[in-house]
Chains A and B, each alone.
Chain A
């Protein structure tokens, strides 16, 4: 921790600094505050221009309406399942892959590393249509692969649309996570590996008893950013769920407000209540895991 001990007489500059910091605070917090306030009023009050800045007394009513109206509770649980699944999946795969390419010596490991790393350049948004097609039948690429070796294989189509697997699996591969774990594993001294081997530990035992405990900080950092990332996924769930029972809370926001800007005005108080519900879980993660979250973000800065 630094100590701002430097003696400096800059009263004007200090005043400006405080003003700017307060302005920044308003900019960062005001929209969240507005969402909260709007979610506590009845519709006519919310539609007043400008809107009141103090909470109203319809909080419970609005949230109850939203919760029941579109089965929002179930959507929140879906979101939680997906976010947790993606987080666990990413951490597991990242750790296993990095373990293999750092602690084993074989020729293909650089190739594998790059094959995973290059996916950074292929975000979901740019390969969205064909990825959807794959999710509709995951067996298709396998059929092709087998066909390349001269066989015909009659695997029945495997449809992932409207399944948790479909919501989770395509988001689980992780270049940043693998990279982060690789960087961490590279800092483990050779002597530790050698000592473990002298003690008779095999690779899996070494992984479980040394690497996992040592990487706890790393894991927390990765978990926070991945949870936030997964909870906030919008486009992918929007595409592959047509069944309302599989919808996630984040994508549900779109269903709650009628079409953008045109058409009848949205029911703002309920829309804002839903918005706040979607905002809260990742916000809590950031608030309570601030240190890990910041570390995670900055560490994945390639």
Chain B
């Protein structure tokens, strides 16, 4: 990032970055350090300063079946909603990229879900999938409680997976379509001249060239499902029934703010943070990979 022509007023340079640096330190680094401190200490039951306890908090959460349940549930949620939203988005993007009549109108609507707030998405789907109202409950007329996310863990999981995938599908679609449209038209034409039809071109040319985008989206979707899922869970299932949708981020919130156990919440935060950092590093690798292709 070296340019030849620069300005030399360093006081001004400092003043320009100061506001953001201040915010970053106060609201990002300070809380992170504090989380670290809390994760390695406990607060005495009757107040007073925290006591350093080393790895004890971590040992405690890793020995806790409830914690492992939240890990398991988060992973299931991540895998299902990533697969569903990426699969749908890829299919739709490939269809839209064929540019048949009306594709612009469809494309326009496909963006919409990403604009909608997670809790609004959650509430809408909670209604559509409610056991006693909406639409899906119609199948309960076949047999009572055939579908009931309030009582059945898997039903609840399916509900939040669908709600989250609906929103992320729009996001993934935007990226897939942008990537498809950045494939030079000439490549598609050359492949057509070489004798390959629509499906063959998708398989041999388009999808291989989408690989970097696919990889990027995989990472982003998994990260988002770990982090951004709070709004949907909070308003649809509240982590239930019987902790069947008690995602890691939701558990941190409920342990911290409902249970008021800051140390446990902090220790869990650190674990989740390491996961996110790990995923972000994987994503950086993707940048290097992509530069290679283009």
Contact = CB atoms under 8 A, between A and B. Distances in A.
Contact of A254 (B30, B92, B115, B234): B234
Contacts of B98: 4, 17
Nearest to B270: A126
A50 B126 CA distance: 14
Nearest to A286: B115
B192 A6 contact: yes
Contacts of A80: none
Contact of A121 (B111, B117, B249, B273): B273
Interface stretch (B52-60, B68-76, B132-140, B203-211): B132-140
Interface in B9-34: 9-10, 12-14, 16-17, 19-21, 23-32, 34
Interface string B91-104: 11001101110110
B4 interface: yes
Interface string B238-274: 1011000000010011001100001001100100110
A129 B117 contact: no
B81 interface: no
A21 interface: yes
A262 interface: yes
A44 B149 CA distance: 22
A169 B140 CA distance: 48
B116 interface: yes
Interface in B99-142: 99-100, 102-103, 106, 108-121, 123-128, 130, 132-135, 137-138, 140-141
Nearest to A191: B5
Contact of A294 (B27, B178, B185, B234): B178
Contacts of B110: 24-25, 28
Interface stretch (A7-15, A62-70, A214-222): A7-15
A20 B92 contact: yes
B56 to A, nearest CB: 18
A29 B112 contact: yes
Contacts of A155: none
A190 B5 CA distance: 6
Contacts of A193: 3, 5-6
Given A51-B135, A122-B32, A130-B38, A21 B95 contact: yes
B77 interface: no
B7 A203 contact: yes
B101 to A, nearest CB: 8
B189 to A, nearest CB: 7
Nearest to B123: A275
A129 B252 contact: yes
B161 interface: no
B106 A96 contact: no
B8 A298 contact: no
B150 interface: yes
Contacts, number: 342
B40 interface: no
Interface in A20-46: 20-22, 24-25, 27-29, 31-32, 34-35, 38, 46
Contact of B119 (A48, A119, A251): A251
Contact of B124 (A13, A31, A109, A238): A31
B277 interface: yes
The interface size bin for chain B is 35 or more
Interface in B32-55: 32, 34-35, 38
A203 B12 contact: yes
Interface residues on A, range: 35 or more
A243 B128 CA distance: 31
A20 B166 CA distance: 16
B272 A126 contact: yes
B174 interface: yes
A105 B32 contact: no
A115 B26 CA distance: 12
Contacts of A191: 5
Nearest to A206: B7
A151 interface: no
B273 A122 contact: yes
Nearest to B181: A2
Contacts of B287: 302
B150 A261 contact: yes
Nearest to A100: B16
Contacts of A178: 20
Contacts of A203: 7, 9, 12
B79 interface: no
Given A32-B116, A298-B178, 12 more contacts: A4-B98, A104-B7, A104-B10, A106-B10, A123-B228, A127-B32, A128-B269, A191-B5, A235-B253, A260-B235, A265-B130, A283-B115
Interface of B: 1, 3-10, 12-14, 16-17, 19-21, 23-32, 34-35, 38, 88, 91-92, 95-96, 98-100, 102-103, 106, 108-121, 123-128, 130, 132-135, 137-138, 140-141, 149-150, 156, 166, 169-171, 174-175, 178, 181, 185, 188-189, 192, 197-199, 216, 227-228, 230-231, 234-238, 240-241, 249, 252-253, 256-257, 262, 265-266, 269, 272-273, 276-277, 280, 283, 287
Q: Which 6 A-B pairs have the closest CB atoms?
A: A130-B31, A232-B117, A260-B238, A104-B13, A100-B16, A261-B150
7 contacts: A4-B98, A99-B16, A130-B34, A134-B30, A138-B26, A235-B231, A275-B120
